[in-house]
Structures are given as C-alpha cells and as structure tokens.
Amino acid sequence: MVDSAWSEDNDAHDDEQSGVGEFEEADSPEDVLEGSSGTATVGGDVLNEDEADGTDGVEADSDGSNPRREATESDENGVGYANIPDELTARDRWVCWKVEERNGDETKIPVDPQTGGRASSDNAETWASFSNAREYHEHEDTDTAGIGFMFSRDGRYAGVDLDKCVDPSTGDVEPWARDIVERLNSYTEFSPSGTGLHVIVEGMVPPDGSRSGNVEMYDEKRYFTFTGDVGMGAQKPVEKRVGALKDVHTEYIQS
C-alpha cells in the first residue's frame, strides 16, 4: 500500500507512476499563496454553485494588512491575467462566465466569448482562445464577471476545488486544505469568493467519485473560474502530479 502522507522522507511520491518525475519539496500553503477558494461548474445544465454569501472581498487583518495581494496594473475587471500559466493560456479552452439566479440561488453560467451565448462543457465550438475570452470579458457592453477554463478528457489537465477552506478575514487556511495544496504543489489561486482554493495539475482524476464534502476534482465536463489571484506568494507553474492526485483522491474523495 502506498503511504499517502507527505513528508520530505517519504519515497512513495518519488518517481510517481505513469512517468511522473520526482515530487518536489512542497512550499507551505502560506508560501504558495496565503489563502483562497473556488468552484467548479458544469457547462450546460447542472452547475455547482460557488458561495454567494457576500464574501467576494477579503477583509483586512486586525493590523490593517490584507492576506491577499493588492490589485496590480495587470488586473483587468478583476482578473490577474499575468499570473495565469502560459501553458493554459495557449489552449483554446477558455470561456467567460456570469452570475444568474436559479431557483433562488446565484449560479455561475459559462458564456461563449465568440457569440455571447451559452457555453457547453461538451461542445468545444463554444470555447475560445484566452485572448478572445479576455477581450470579450473586458468589452464595455458585456456583463460577464470573469473568465474560465474548460476541462476535457482529451486534454491533460485536472482541477481540484477546495471549498470553504479560507478565513477571508485572516487568510488562514484549514489544515485539510493545506495538506492537499502541499501534496499537489502546483498552480494555486483564490476563487472569486476568496473563501477557497483552486489547484490545477497535469493528471487524470481516478474513477469512483469526484466530490466529497468540500473537495471536488474534475478533468472533464466542468469548467473552473480563473482569477489569477495567487495571493502573496509567487505564481507556480502547472505541475505533473498523477500519483499525488491519486493519493489525494483516495484519502479525500473515496474515504
């Protein structure tokens, strides 16, 4: 049995299966980004709503500091475009999104940047390039709230959504979320609400479920909103984490 607990001395993550290279020494979550959350949403019909409880902003600490980074000149309409990894922006898997009310709840709806109509997770014709999604979102006549990335099984990326794991007033991350961020040690950002995290990796989500409690992971038929908000830490690339993703799935989804 593979020991899924992460430590510097644990050989289980070295030379991971499926050709994954050495598992690098993980930074602490505070070094990775010092906070975050997010939501995965189905393109088309069923959507997983992010929290719409008014916590879209992160309050300042008691000493007046803020655990999240300040907006920069690269931010446009709430998106830190410069922080999103180039390997993702090079793919034509981008959409925009807007908030609509469904059954009394606010839901993030994917938008086709080419037509302004509904984008679908099973129709690549409704996805666009990063530049097209950015241009559509920034246009003064559109009512979109941001941009998003569609996952598809014929791609190589997976997204892990850690919901309700960040205290927006302090930036403190729940221990279980810190554990996942450290194990995956890949590109991580705040979700739009600021109360959770999105981690993007190269890998495939194992079968036997994709959601348990506040942890979700997908590699197809979903999209993630992208903020480019990596917190106070440095931006990280998308890393290959096949074995680590399997371990996290086993412990947090299957158990």
* 198 is a catalytic site residue: yes
Count Cβ atoms below 10 Å from residue 141 Cβ, excluding itself: 6
Active-site annotation holder among 34, 51, 163, 202: 163
State the catalytic residue, choosing from 34, 112, 161, 247: 161
Round to whole Å and give the CA distance between 233 and 81.
16
Using CA atoms, how far residue 231 sits from 11, 60, 121, 171, 225, in Å, is 30, 13, 28, 9, 16
Answer yes or no: are the C-beta atoms of 63 and 170 closer than 8 Å.
no
Catalytic residue flag (residue 161) = yes
Q: What CA–CA distance (Å, rounded) separates 117 from 114?
A: 8
CA distances from 171 to 71, 218, 227 (A): 16, 25, 17
Among residues 112, 216, 229, 239, which one is catalytic?
A: 216
Catalytic (active site) residue 216: yes
The kind and range of the H/E element at 87 are: helix 86-89
Active site residue 137: no
Are 98 and 145 contacting, i.e. CB atoms less than 8 angstroms apart? yes
Residues classed as catalytic: 161, 163, 198, 216
